[in-house]
């Protein structure tokens, strides 16, 4: 494996990267001025047909880093399924599909999203009608493959997006069965926020002489984010949340909780305090999830309360704050969660509420990210004053 130059080299323009005119026009429509570091590194490699392993988290512009050159490579070809993007969650699936659609708007590129929790028929119709790009979660896609609704005999490009997350979610068997149906002479791109041994093994299995492209240090938190920990007794967390949300700068806030009942409870508490909030978790129907995202995006509700399952793939620009109502159990989840804020062009704050029994987990996170997170004590909420009596 070889590595391209470090990501602090001066950034080129999109035209410098070799993208064709219809793609450049879509980039201009999107208002992007310069490629992000991951785009500057990955796009020329993908255009040259290389396999690429991209170590980048959400917020770095990784979706465009693969979508733009994929659209370029599909230009002018016959209408058959030539590219497949596998994603871990339906939210990410929908967002990647929207990106490919946006970037392919002047290139006559047709894309179909395929994910579970919704009826099969419309997806079947779209697949059977013939599309250039399929963006899919692995389980539902496998169902369609087995029913013969789509064939990948002529697939040229496979993208594994958020590979670490897909493996965390137990998708390895489905990924393997999907890839078995794709010709070996293809281009494979793998993106992952982290590189645990399982992801390295997946890359070794499916990528040929990949070039590794990395943005930022491994396991570092997004740089523009300012983080802080609030030491707070567990039973004061909801009051602290309501108090923080009253600050005017807390505009669009994503709150993470550990369980589904906790998500519903926090929403009820906030609404009782007159703060508009909506919950997002695995028990919500697809319609409810889409509606929740829409309300959050449009500003109809200010606060989205989500469980871990919703944490990746939420690409909502303009999130001003992320609050970890519960400390994430995995240090890597901490990095992913705060990747929701500190987007490509925004800055944001990430606050973590730490109950006394969560101190050890926070210390572990600090070890993994290689920095201490400052503590903020709020009189009346700080457990220093509460555990004493
Ligand atoms: P991603 O890392 O793919 O989730 O992208 C993060 C956000 O950055 C998305 O909202 C994109 O629309 C935005 N974005 C992607 N590329 C650029 C760019 N070159 N300039 C500005 N914003 C970008």
> Architecture of 15-214 per CATH?
3-Layer(aba) Sandwich (3.40)
Report which protein residue has its CA nearest ligand 1's atom 1: 61
For a pocket test of ligand 1, which of 89, 94, 344 has the largest count of ligand atoms closer than 8 A to its C-beta?
344
Task: Please check the confidence at residue 44 and state whether its pLDDT lies above 90.
Answer: yes
Those residues with Cβ within 8 angstroms of residue 123's Cβ, 6 or more apart along the chain or in another chain: 112, 113, 114, 140, 144, 149
Show the ligand 1 pocket: residues with CB < 6 angstroms: 32, 35-36, 39, 58-64, 315, 317, 343-345
Backbone angles phi, psi at 214, to 5 degrees: -130, 135
Distance CA 58, CA 38 (A): 11
What would the mean pLDDT of 335-344 be, rounded to a whole number? 60
Report which protein residue has its CA nearest ligand 1's atom 16: 61
H/E element, 188: strand 187-192
**Distance from residue 327's CA to the centre of ligand 1 (Å):** 27
Residue range 207-241, pLDDT digits in tens? 999 998 887 543 444 545 678 899 999 999 999 99
Which numbered atom of ligand 1 lies nearest the CA of 36?
A: 19
Task: Please check the confidence at residue 203 and state whether its pLDDT lies above 70.
Answer: yes
**Distance from residue 60's CA to the centre of ligand 1 (Å):** 6
Distance CA 67, CA 23 (A): 10
**Distance from residue 345's CA to the centre of ligand 1 (Å):** 8
Which numbered atom of ligand 1 lies nearest the CA of 63?
A: 3
What is the pLDDT, as a whole number, of residue 5? 41
**Distance from residue 26's CA to the centre of ligand 1 (Å):** 13
What is the pLDDT, as a whole number, of residue 95? 93
**Distance from residue 98's CA to the centre of ligand 1 (Å):** 13
pLDDT-derived band at 109, boundaries 50, 70, 90: very high
**298, two tokens:** 């449009």
Q: Domain spanning 225-388: which superfamily?
A: P-loop containing nucleotide triphosphate hydrolases (3.40.50.300)
**Distance from residue 344's CA to the centre of ligand 1 (Å):** 5
Report which protein residue has its CA nearest ligand 1's atom 14: 61
**Distance from residue 199's CA to the centre of ligand 1 (Å):** 24
For CA atoms 88, 256, 318, 252, the dihedral sign is positive
End-to-end CA distance of the chain: 59
SS3 content of the chain, % helix, strand, coil (to 5): 40, 15, 45
Which numbered atom of ligand 1 lies nearest the CA of 32?
A: 20
Whether 225-388 and 15-214 are alike in CATH topology: the answer is: yes
Report which protein residue has its CA nearest ligand 1's atom 20: 32
Which numbered atom of ligand 1 lies nearest the CA of 317?
A: 10
Task: Please check the confidence at residue 121 and state whether its pLDDT lies above 90.
Answer: yes
Distance CA 66, CA 87 (A): 13
**Distance from residue 37's CA to the centre of ligand 1 (Å):** 11
Distance CA 336, CA 328 (A): 10
What is the pLDDT, as a whole number, of residue 133? 97
Contact 138, 166 (CB under 8 A): yes
What is the pLDDT, as a whole number, of residue 382? 74
**Distance from residue 312's CA to the centre of ligand 1 (Å):** 15
Task: Please check the confidence at residue 73 and state whether its pLDDT lies above 90.
Answer: yes
Task: Please check the confidence at residue 62 and state whether its pLDDT lies above 90.
Answer: yes
Distance CA 283, CA 288 (A): 10
**Distance from residue 201's CA to the centre of ligand 1 (Å):** 28
The domain limits of the chain are 15-214, 225-388
As a whole number, the mean pLDDT across the chain is: 85
What is the pLDDT, as a whole number, of residue 112? 96
Report which protein residue has its CA nearest ligand 1's atom 6: 59
Number of C-beta neighbours around residue 160 at 10 A = 30
Which numbered atom of ligand 1 lies nearest the CA of 56?
A: 2
Report which protein residue has its CA nearest ligand 1's atom 9: 61
């Amino acid at each position: 494996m070889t590595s391209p130059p470090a990501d602090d080299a001066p950034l080129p323009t999109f035209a410098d990267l070799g993208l064709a005119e219809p793609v450049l026009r879509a980039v201009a429509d999107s208002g992007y001025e310069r490629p992000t570091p991951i785009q500057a590194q990955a796009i020329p490699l993908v255009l040259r047909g290389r396999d690429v392993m991209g170590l980048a988290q959400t917020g770095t512009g990784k979706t465009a880093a693969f979508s733009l050159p994929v659209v370029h490579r599909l230009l002018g070809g016959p209408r058959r399924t030539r590219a497949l993007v596998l994603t871990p969650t339906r939210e990410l699936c929908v967002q990647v599909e929207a990106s490919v659609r946006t970037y392919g708007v002047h290139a006559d590129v047709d894309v179909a999203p395929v994910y579970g929790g919704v009826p099969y028929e419309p997806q079947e119709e779209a697949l059977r009608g013939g599309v250039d790009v399929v963006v899919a979660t692995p389980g539902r896609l496998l169902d369609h493959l087995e029913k013969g609704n789509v064939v990948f005999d002529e697939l040229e490009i496979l993208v594994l997006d958020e590979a670490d997350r897909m493996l965390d979610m137990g998708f390895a068997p489905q990924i393997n069965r999907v890839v078995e149906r794709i010709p070996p002479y293809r281009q494979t791109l793998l993106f992952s926020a982290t590189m645990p041994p399982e992801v390295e093994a997946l890359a070794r299995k499916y990528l040929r002489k990949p070039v590794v492209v990395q943005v930022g240090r491994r396991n570092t938190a997004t740089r523009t984010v300012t983080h802080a920990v609030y030491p707070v007794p567990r039973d004061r967390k909801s009051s602290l949340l309501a108090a923080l949300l009253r600050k005017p700068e807390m505009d669009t806030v994503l709150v993470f909780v550990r369980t589904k009942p906790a998500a519903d409870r926090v929403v009820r508490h906030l609404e009782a305090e007159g703060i508009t909030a909506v919950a997002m978790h695995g028990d919500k129907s697809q319609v409810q999830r889409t509606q929740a995202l829409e309300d959050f995006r449009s500003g109809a509700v200010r606060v989205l309360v989500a469980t871990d399952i919703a944490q990746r793939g939420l690409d909502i620009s303009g999130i001003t704050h992320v609050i970890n109502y519960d400390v994430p159990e995995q240090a890597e989840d901490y990095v992913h969660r705060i990747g929701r804020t500190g987007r490509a062009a925004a800055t944001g704050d990430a606050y973590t509420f730490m109950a006394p029994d969560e101190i050890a987990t926070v210390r572990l996170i600090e070890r993994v990210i290689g920095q201490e997170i400052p503590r903020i004590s709020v009189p009346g909420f700080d457990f220093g004053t509460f555990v004493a009596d």
